[in-house]
Structure 1
Amino acid sequence: MRHFLPAFAVCLAGSAAAQGDDPGRLDPAVLIEKFSIARPEPDDRTRPVPRPALRVEPALERRAEDLRPGPLRAAGVVRSGTAEAGFVAGELILVADSPTEAKAVAARIGTPIGAPLRLTAGTPEGRTLSVLRVRLDPRRPPDDAVFDRVEAASPHRFTRVYEVSSEAARDTLTAALDLQLAGEVSVGLNWIFEPVALDNEILLEGVTPAGAGFVNPFDLPYLNGEGAARIGVTGAWHLLKAAGLLDDTGRATAASRIPLAVIDQGFHDALDLSMPDPRGAAAGRPGGRACAGGAACPWHGSHVAEIMAAPIGNMRAVAGPAGPVAGPVELQTLDGFESWSLLAWIADRTAPGAAAVPRVVNMSFAATVPDLWAWSTVALDLGIAALDRAGTLVVAAAGNDRADIDAVRCVEGGAGACHETARRVPCELTGVVCVGALGQDDVRIAGFSAAGALPGTPGQDGDSIDIYAPGVAILAGADPGAGTSPPAQGWTQAVSGSSVAAPLVAGVAALIAAADPGLGADALRGLLLKGAWSGATDLPPGQAPDPRLGRFLNAERPVRQALAARFSGTDFPPLVEIVRPRPGLDMPAVQMGSRLDVEARAVDVEEGIGCCAPRWTVDGLARSDLSGPRVGIVLEQNRTYEIGVTVTDGAGQTASDTMAVRARP
């Protein structure tokens, strides 16, 4: 018998390669072999140990009912310690080299559901695989001897009892193990995802329908370069403008607009997006799936989409990093919120000739798969690899359960025989940028956020939390019914969670793609992660490093690096703007004889933000007593003054800006 993959795939091999360093890790053969049985055997093969087993736990039945994917299909739940995940009972997903092979195996175990999907992954020529969903024959008896074969294949590794919600769930898990051990095809379970929970607080001071006192994104610490984390989204916007990729309104030119996607639930019809594309979502309909932990989150997708890509300067009090560069934002809700629906979406978007392939996709949902079935997520790895080949980067939320997603279990007496106790998907899928949350205006991991170990930790699978981003008190538009329905223009709410940290990262990825639209997914991921701040060396003064915080989001550096690579040999002139007092419709006014604080922001593509020393003038006359980007000027007379600033970059190119200010008695 020709084996499609190793005889038993159970846990991930360790890998020191960072995301973005090794494009070959997304080759289908590498992904399939990643779950390998080649482990050091325990020193003591003679001591009696219990084999793994499944036990029906009636208390899980209610949980399974909450996860039911539809009226005619049932959910099962499997639990091991704190790792718990739902799946569609009575269904398996088969991955084979051809439709004929997949259908032949399906015919022996049940009935195919629909036609096979086609996924092409790997470079340069790619490998096309057939993915088929199968309904198991309920008359097929489970083979409990499969657990003896598990123990024989991986001695002493899986000696625990796994709880399941029902006999149907037990039979599905057993059948999956049995078929995986046969090795003819790669087998997947149809795992059910849950949105990562959000905490909300309506901010009444945000009610500004007329625009008076609206929230300025340049003042938000999770967007500007002045907060503790110095994310620098606003600086990245300035860099794109200095390179001529944004117009005077702050909107990207047509060639620099980036198609995006949000896979989630609950998209209302008053979304603050420039180009919403609800082709895969029921617009105006709340999501039916509770968030992880059971909290209601009917408009979860709306929050995520706005935090990623809400436009700037439209008086809506919300702005996302990708706002200036976002093209169509596809809003997609998965049928049943399950693995198969995600794979079907991927197959459609990566099919030959597919139109409007998104460059960045946000997935703020998760399932935590216990170790004995970690191999059953390989079909999803292959889906991510297909997206990567099509040029699409996937960003996902790590979760809000305070879990260590890299927790390991080691075989007693074994030499280095450690493996992770669970696999969190999609966050730990190979090629996905996994995002944890920082605290409010802080460079410490938020207390609720999942965390992980740093690369190289024993047992780590090489797919951990890749980056952290602000995840507390992030502004989104109000929900329908929060004061008015639909939401009033200017109503905002603060939301928290890794669910909102992820779209901030996705939005920054879109900015990098706008800086160089020719970047592939792997290059985009590499710039995003290598350009991030270091959790060891880039902390505020006096803050001790957190060993779990490998890197956190930096928008300016990777955007600047992308521009430098794209426009190598080009020297752009600098830009300078007087940003304080705030430019507006009315001329700023000040009392005669009082101090007026003035600030200028200079940017140069080659030299970065704050590139050049400003030279100040008042009414066209140089003021040598004024130096630096922030100055104080006293205006003595009852009249209008013109304040000017000029900067010169290293190549001798200059830029100027002026502002009229009225001094009154």
Structure 2
Amino acid sequence: MHQIRNVSNERSRPIRPRAPWWALATADALLASGCAAPPTPLPPISFTVDPSVVPSVAELPGFEDGVPRPLAAVANDDGSVADFVADEIWLTTDDAGELSAFLARWNGEVLATFVPGDYDLTGLSTGYLVRVDTAGADLDRLSDDLRALDATATGAHRVSSADGLDLLAVASREAAAGTDVGINWVGGGAQLRSRTTAEAPTGVGSAGGAYDQNAFTWASHSLLGAQEIGVGEAWRALDIAGRLGNRVKVAILDMGFQPDADTPTGWLAISNAPPLAPTGTSNALSCGSGNPCPWHGANVASAAMAVPNNGFGAAGPAGPVADAILVFTLYDFFTSITALGEARLLGARIANMSYSAPVPWYLAWSVLPFEAATFGFRLSGMLLFAAAGNDDRDVDAVGCTFGVCFERTWITPCENAGVICVGALAGGSSARASYSNYGAKQVDIFGPGTLWVGPDPDAPANQARAISGTSFASPFVAGVAALVWAADPSMSATTVENVLMSTAHPNGDPRVGRHVNAFGAVRQVLGNVPPEVTINGGGDVPFNLMAQLHADVVDVEDSFPCCTVVWSSNVDGQLGTGTGIVHLFTTMGSRVVTARATDSGGAVTEASVVVNVINVAPNVTLHAPTEAAVVFRTAVVQLRGSATDRNEPDETLACANLTWTSSVGSDPFPIVGCEVSATFTSNGARVLTLTGTDSLGASDAESVSITVVDPPPNLPPNVQVTSPQTGSSPPVHLPITLSGTANDPEGATPLTYQWTTKLGSNAPIVVGNAPSIEWTPNETYSFNQEGTYTVQVRLNVTDPGGNVGTD
């Protein structure tokens, strides 16, 4: 709305056209009339692009079209930051024509549709999530649009990007024009629950697909795709069930450790080969066929338990639950036995050995001590995992000598008693990796053989790197075992192993048999997890006005939107059903509002908030007379005022609740009403006060000081505009009745009438010369831009002596 200066006894008439310019519009506000200058306006709201304002993640995963959804962030002047999607607007309408016009204006594409009836919601319109082209955003109008939407919009604010600022301008423009739109904000809530993590910014290579910073999308972690392992969903299930706080000690027996930001906090490293240091000492051996692998231990630890969602490196299955024990050990069997003993003493429940040796049959007896040790550690309650090896061989294969057939090679520790031997799947596939050993009897389970791992001293950049081998499939499956144990720490090692094997995916590749199913294993242990309920709302809500309450409900077993939600209050009884309700509170005071969610399996969760129903006092505005006005004794003086009240359905306090008083006791007060008249019989200064009081006794008041002086010999006519009313919102393209009354104190006739209108800083225009006329606004003014306008209408009446009265 364009603010203009008022003149004595004028009344402002707001007119706001909707695009196109000839369409009807309503006004949001009215300027006070009078000869005094208006209050100093608030500084305009402003925005700057500040790259230091960074959203929590760069983008969200795309919809079915796969197009990423970029995020932007806005920082308030108090330092708080909120994320939103930089090219999406939420449009609410049941008018197909309005939707089409909106899409045409912004080259829009509907990404998703919310039909309230599908969720048993009533009283809401259809919502459309629209991707918009913000190239046409008008930044020059952003400040005015926000001020039109909120008269108190002010302050300096920062936006993370130019695209984000353009989106704010588009949304504000539409809202100011009367379109029901919203910005698609992105709360901050728990990342594992929202199926979003942020790992290293970039990745090198391919691990069953191109790198994505969100681990939930990785071929090894996703519930979708060929492998269907569901590590991300297992994390989410544990999070919702409140089990991520359960810690499981996981030992990695290897060489070449270098802990970093991806190693779980509180890691412990020991050396089983003194004087070699447990960390920072590279691998003393190669990894098959002379291939160097100086930081093999670091890569194995990353595959098992790299910490997710820290913007660094990769994300191993056990990352959220593992307490890491890094045991630097040589690959000979004696030190391996003692390394297992050291891990056992430190409380390890899981140990991984990503190394192997093919012992010929004729020396098989030499493995028996090692086998006895592994079997003993297994009986002690540990789970031991080992890599099957990368020689593309059947570890169960037999050879015949002189007609006697037997297994010719013992792959140790893979084939040891008490060890779970792990083979490797090809990247992004359920088929066996071409290099992986296999064996129906001794290779117990397969895991993904191509994984993303984090940095090491030879590749220190914060990048995820694709790496392959059974050396990484084995710790991956060990990490899944840690998730299963976290779901129920009271389980025995045998129970955890049985869960891993019984829930594994059957595999069509005869050389694989089965491969790990993280989500299935965790779900089996958790059972039916009750839904999680978070209520958005609470605090103070206005009396006698519709209040919105919404609950975010997530469930492990049920897809979104899940669950039956019933709302109740300890004061008001049942309030409604559905994740979102609108309720009218008709009594004052505090109450506890509860949302009770029940999933398809009958599991129930409740969440409660305290709601305090308050009565907001009215807001009184005294329009006339103005401060320091001078009026004549015995002349009729027009008094005008109004009051808003949030607790009234139309947010307007009834005129019957407005009372005028004077500081001079002999004045003819009190007087009740919005537009009244008074005659003063004594000279001098006095204070007039307008008080608005609502039905619950809350009140507000505004006062002006005036001075009554002797009248001139010939008083001007008494004038009152009777139509339209102050604050009315007439259409711009239809005739408006302008009518008023006038009388001369001395009874002189004839009286001459003149109607004028004034838009903005333009000069007044005469539009009629009778007590009552019809006036069409757009025949006088060109409302060729969207926005809010204030038009002042004035009636001047002149008596035969040339004295002019005005209203």
Which protein has the bigger strand share? 2
Larger C-alpha radius of gyration, 1 or 2? 2
Structure number with the higher helix fraction is: 1
